[in-house]
Structure formats: C-alpha cells, structure tokens
Chain A
C-alpha cells in the first residue's frame, strides 16, 4: 500500500535498507530529466538507478556483496566506512560534466543568437568561427570527462582541421571584395 511514509530506499537481499539517505519516491524525479542530463546514470520509471551507457561503469565489489542489480549511487548513498571510491568518482565526474558542458553549450548558443541577429557577413563569419572552436572543445571535454578516448579524439580532429575552412572562406570574401558594414 502506498502511504506517505512508505520506505522507498533500496533493499538488499535480507530486506534491510542500504542507507539512511532520503530516496525520492517513484515518479518524484521527472523522467525527462534523464534525457537532458548527460551523466551516465539515470533513473528508471520505478525510481531505481540505471546505467545509461551500458558497459561504461564498472560494478564495485560492494554491489556484488549486496546483490544489487544496479550499481549504487556513490556520493552519500553508501554507509560510512564502505569502499565506494570508484562509484563516487564516476558519479562526481558525471555531475561535473553536466555543469561544464552546460556552460559550453550556453556560450555556443550565444554565438548562434548573434549569427541570426547580425546583418553583416563578416560578423556572421566571426561568430561561426568562434562556435566551431567551442564545439570542438565541447566534444573534447565530453570525451575526457567520460573517460572515452575515442570521443576525445573526434574533438581533437575537429579542433585541428575545423578552422581551415573558415580561413578559406574569409580569403574568398577578401578576394571578392565584399565590404563589411
């Protein structure tokens, strides 16, 4: 029976709660947040912890000891004195990644806004060249923070090759003698 004081904390195989930390009830966390957030851990419909990128997180010894079918949440969710370092690190990296990538996407959105607001061709070119650098670095940051070398290498390729096209376009504009307003 669902009452107000029902215990939603995850239980181990003996039926005891894992921690004294408040666990949100099922439906407490909106499900669309799990699509916006880029962290590797999300919640399913029942309020349980799931892996969004399977194979990325390693299960710790504690998860096998407690017979959990999902890794524990890490920070603040383990009993004091237990070994939660790997899990804590992954969760903290995921939170950091959300903030850093959020600010990066915000400054990229400012460039897109200026592109649509400005009339001048040169101002549009400057805004787009700045956005290209920012996009490459955002890919690099996402790859590094996820610990994924392949994604980071895509960012390196974008950073090293992406600006050459802008230079050719600006050279073309100069040869065509397009005036700037």
Chain B
C-alpha cells in the first residue's frame, strides 16, 4: 500500500513535468511559458521527492535535503528569471 501511494505521487510529479514541457513549443508569451515551467518543475519535483520519501523512508537524509533545495531554488529561480525577463523587455 505504501509503495502504491508513493508510486502514484511520484507518477503525478512526472505527469507535471511532461505537462510543463508541453507548453514550450506553443506560441504563447515567454512569461506564460516561464510560469508553466516553474510550476511544473517545482511542484513536480516536490511530488516526486515526496513519493520517494513514502517509498523509501530510510533515505530521508538526502531526500529532505533535495526537497529543501528544490523548494528554495524553484521559487527563487522562477522569480529572478521572470524579473530579469520583464526588466530587459521594458528596458529598465
């Protein structure tokens, strides 16, 4: 049961990854793509790591470190990239 729940959560994260990469070839604006990629990367990676935590609780040290760095860098990188894109577009 534990394995089934963990694999389902990790599979949901993998689905988010693929969903985010499906937005890239469209003709939307760069901010739209950046939002989709940021959501997909952050949420999908968090879900994948949570699924591994459910499946393999013995490896909690590396998994929790990775979870913290994904949460921090995912949000921070999305914010910094969006700010730089808009400022370079508006000529600030």
Contact = CB atoms under 8 A, between A and B. Distances in A.
Interface of A: 96, 100, 103-104, 106-107, 110-111, 114, 117, 120, 122-123, 125-127, 129-130, 133-134, 136-137, 140-141, 143-144, 149, 152-153, 155-156, 159-160, 163, 166-167, 170-171, 173-174, 177-180
Contacts of A173: 84, 88
Q: Is the contact region of chain B dominated by helix, strand, or loop, or is it mixed?
A: helix
A103 B14 contact: yes
A114 B5 CA distance: 33
A170 B81 contact: yes
Interface string B38-70: 000100010011001000100100110110011
A140 B66 contact: yes
B31 to A, nearest CB: 10
B27 to A, nearest CB: 12
Contacts of B49: 137, 140
Interface residues of B, number: 38
Given A149-B62, A170-B84, A173-B84, A179 B18 contact: no
B88 A159 contact: no
B21 interface: yes
Smallest CB-CB A-B distances: 9 pairs:
A160-B69, A110-B21, A174-B84, A163-B73, A152-B62, A114-B24, A107-B17, A170-B84, A159-B69
Nearest to A123: B30
B47 to A, nearest CB: 11
